[in-house]
Amino acid sequence: MVPLIIFMDNISSNISKQWNKHHTIYMSNVNLPHEMLEKEFFVHFVMSSPHAAPMELMWAMKQFICNAATSGVAAWDCKDNKEVLLIPCGLFIAGDNPMQAEECSHSGLNCNYFCQTCDIGGTKEYKASKDGYSSLFASGNLQTPEGTAVNIWEQFEMALKPGATEKIKNLVSMTGICDTALNSIMNTLVELEKKLRKCTVGTQAKSEAEVTAALEREFEELLQGDKLKDTLNPLLGMNGLDIHMDTPTEILHTVLLGIVKYFWGQTVFLLDKAKLMDIFQTCLQSVDTDGLNAPCLNAGYICHYKGSLIGKHFKSLSQVMPFIIYDLVPSTVLNAWTIMGKLIVLIWHTKILNTKAYLVG
């Protein structure tokens, strides 16, 4: 068995234009040692396109893995000196938060029900209330691929009825489910339904049966001989993969460029206000970096470009800040940095242990 990390994101590597967005899929073999997974040599390029939508690329990727899993891939084991049959399978889908939301047929972090894994959330008024705010820190009911597919079917059925635009909008708002793979077809049907029901001067309004028949004909033309289930998010029905559970929260933007970045900004504000930034830079420069997996903290750069730091800076800062600011900031700020440092260590250890547990199991 060969478990795979599947990664997709929108990138631009062209040199002829400043920005030419295209989507790319890569894969990595989880059986490799952890330190090898980060090396470019062990990252396998699968496909890329500036035109195909993400779910179209994922549909091809799914077929690629499923076909290989059905027939197996013959290979030679140089260690045991014999032929082996490799069976690939998807372990989890990596990517940033917006891309993972799309892969889960979810609206993202800005919707009422913002979690792609569970149904936590509510209206803006509810989340601002005391009970609603407290509920955000409790576990919600887990999302399932089957439940998501049922919700998408409901949205499609709404597209064939009067007032479809508002009904679909309300349903998305109530659940957070939005399938980009089917959206283009639904939008076309909704616009056609509006035109068919629109009655102009001197023309007779079409009956309900005529509108339904016209929509069904248009729908068949849009599918071009395919079935409706083939147009849904292909990851919802992928064997061995629960898309809601197997899209682990992205650490970089959620933690390092999220809570750590913004708390760093508040801490710098306090240090500047107290005129302690020079002392902070001196303390940071004197830190022993032997255990940080970082050649140098580069205190001069961090303090000069304190508003333009990237993930690697915040990863190192989160581990050393409690030792530097213990007598420079209020105890509440120091306690917060201590908690964030523990959180980041736990996240990285959990990430490694989960991979090892899968391989042992």
User: What average pLDDT values come out for the chain (361 residues) when binned by 10 residues?
Assistant: 88 61 88 81 88 89 90 89 91 87 88 89 90 89 91 84 82 88 80 69 62 72 71 86 87 84 93 92 86 74 89 87 91 92 75 46 43
Whether 329 maps to a domain, the answer reads yes
Q: Are residues 148 and 232 in the same domain?
A: yes
Whether 338 maps to a domain, the answer reads yes
CA distance 133 to 129: 6
Domain ends where: 74, 94, 114? Answer: 94
Whether 246 maps to a domain, the answer reads no
Please tell me the total count of domains within the chain.
3
Q: Are residues 84 and 131 in the same domain?
A: no
Per-residue pLDDT, 318: 87
Domain ends where: 181, 209, 237? Answer: 237
Per-residue pLDDT, 11: 74
Q: Are residues 89 and 131 in the same domain?
A: no
Q: Are residues 263 and 194 in the same domain?
A: no
Whether 209 maps to a domain, the answer reads yes
Whether 352 maps to a domain, the answer reads yes
Nearest Cα residue to 159 out of 103, 223, 216, 229: 216
The string of DSSP codes covering 23-61 is EEEEEEETTS-HHHHTSGGGEEEEEEESSS-HHHHHHHH
Q: What is the torsional sign of CA 333, 338, 339, 343?
A: positive
Q: What domain range includes position 44?
A: 2-94
Whether 108 maps to a domain, the answer reads no
Q: Are residues 9 and 50 in the same domain?
A: yes
Residues 42 and 36: beta-carbon distance below 8 Å: yes
Per-residue pLDDT, 157: 81
CA distance 340 to 330: 16
Tokens 């508003």 belong to: 307
Q: Are residues 223 and 261 in the same domain?
A: no
Q: Are residues 128 and 76 in the same domain?
A: no
Per-residue pLDDT, 360: 43
Query: In the chain, what is the straight-line distance between the N-terminal and C-terminal CA atoms, in Å?
Result: 12
Whether 245 maps to a domain, the answer reads no
Residue 128: CA atoms inside 13 Å, Cβ hemisphere, count?
3
CA distance 168 to 159: 7
Q: What is the torsional sign of CA 36, 41, 46, 50?
A: positive
CA distance 90 to 151: 24
Q: Are residues 294 and 194 in the same domain?
A: no
Whether 110 maps to a domain, the answer reads no
Domain ends where: 54, 78, 94? Answer: 94
Q: Are residues 228 and 325 in the same domain?
A: no
Per-residue pLDDT, 345: 78
Coil, strand or helix: which one is 103?
helix
Q: Are residues 19 and 55 in the same domain?
A: yes
Per-residue pLDDT, 328: 92
CA distance 161 to 158: 5
